Structure 1
Amino acid sequence: MRGRALIALPLLALLSAPAAAESDAERYRLEKTEDGYVRMDTTTGAMSTCREQSGQLVCRMAADERTMAQDEMDRLQDQLKSLEERVARLENSLTAKLESSLPTEEEFNRTMGYMERFFRSFMGIVKDLEKRDSPDTKPAPDRT
């Protein structure tokens, strides 16, 4: 079964190659010049200069496009460096330090225990005050 798969992959590649070649033939346009050829990508508008060497066509990006590509790479590298510096500053910021100093589960539970005891004592005091301030008489009748 594995042998069939190994044969099928190259066969599939061979069958799909003409379709790719046809789309490339439509995508690129060659124009003859004094020194060789100019190849234009009809999709992107990129231009390359081509020369025949040893029976093959060797193409290189046009000088102005190479400069544009290098400028774009430089801009992206500067942007990447800026973003990396920003991430480093944010990771080392006061907020990050505060978040890393959150209490442990044990400290949190101990604090909640203190708060619970405080509120229970406080509610006990409130109930005692209500009993002391309430008259010993019957409750007032409903006025509705």
Structure 2
Amino acid sequence: MTRFAILTASVLALPIAAAAYAQEPGSSRYTLERTENGFVRLDTRTGEMSICTEKTGQLVCRLAADERRAFEESLSDLSARVEALEKRLDLVAPTEQDPGIPDEAELDRALNAMEKMMRRFFEMVEELEKEFEDKPKIPLEPIPDRT
């Protein structure tokens, strides 16, 4: 009987809770437990806890520092960060249209350019060899010993 009277008093002190409680007559959405300083009210649906004190014949409840709420807030922050990172990866990652692997035409162009460059390089080497063969060889004198 005492719990019912306390629960009724807390519902009268909190209009939001009263509206929720009135929607479900006979339900036990809130439970109250006596403590040294007043009461602790537990919302059985959400798990939120409130600390209630009696002032001028009414129960006044304020939200307690609830670990569950802090956990849910940090979880939602982390979820937002993961979503942002996934969006960044989607921008950087190759799509199905552009998988990052060149097609045959691109490979042919690249190989043709490399072949052309190599041919020119070897032609330059052959020209230099001919120039050195045509010049008279200068005999190299030994370097004098300076000791």
TM class, shorter-length: 0.3 to 0.5
Higher gyration radius (CA): 2
